[in-house]
């Protein structure tokens, strides 16, 4: 990777993650669980497949947007 960063775009129906290696768009309905910590969230697509999302610098509004779209199984 030339630049070890990714761009994440949140929309009402989906999330898009893009980097130098490519991009992927996933509808919110694909996620089955989310585990929250103060620094990052693990957003699960399957029991052994997840996306790690850094959240330490996200606004309260962005976190509320995500919580409204992701399943809640109380893994905080």
Question: How confident is the chain (76 residues) per 10-residue block, as mean pLDDT?
Answer: 89 96 96 95 96 95 96 68
Give me the pLDDT at residue 59, please: 95
Residue 1, domain member (yes or no)? no
Give me the pLDDT at residue 74, please: 64
DSSP H helices, 1-76, are: 60-69
Give me the pLDDT at residue 3, please: 83
What letters, b where the CB count within 10 A reaches 16 and e where it falls short, cover 45-73?
eeeeebbebeeeebeeeeeeebeebbeee
Residue 33, domain member (yes or no)? yes
In a 3-state reduction of DSSP, which class is residue 65? helix
Residue 56, domain member (yes or no)? yes
- Whole-structure pTM value: 0.85
Range of the domain at 26: 7-69
Give me the pLDDT at residue 75, please: 53
Edge-to-edge strands of the sheet including 40-46?
33-36, 40-46, 49-54
Residue 49, domain member (yes or no)? yes
Residue 75, domain member (yes or no)? no
Give me the pLDDT at residue 72, please: 77
Residue 2, domain member (yes or no)? no
Residue 24, domain member (yes or no)? yes
């Amino acid at each position: 990777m030339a630049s070890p960063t990714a761009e994440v775009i949140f929309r009402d129906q989906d999330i898009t993650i893009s980097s130098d290696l490519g991009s992927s768009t996933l509808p919110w309905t694909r996620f089955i669980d989310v585990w929250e910590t103060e620094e990052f969230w693990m957003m699960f697509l399957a029991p052994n497949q997840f996306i790690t999302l850094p959240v330490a610098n996200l606004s309260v509004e962005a976190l509320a947007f995500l919580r409204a779209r992701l399943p809640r199984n109380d893994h905080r």
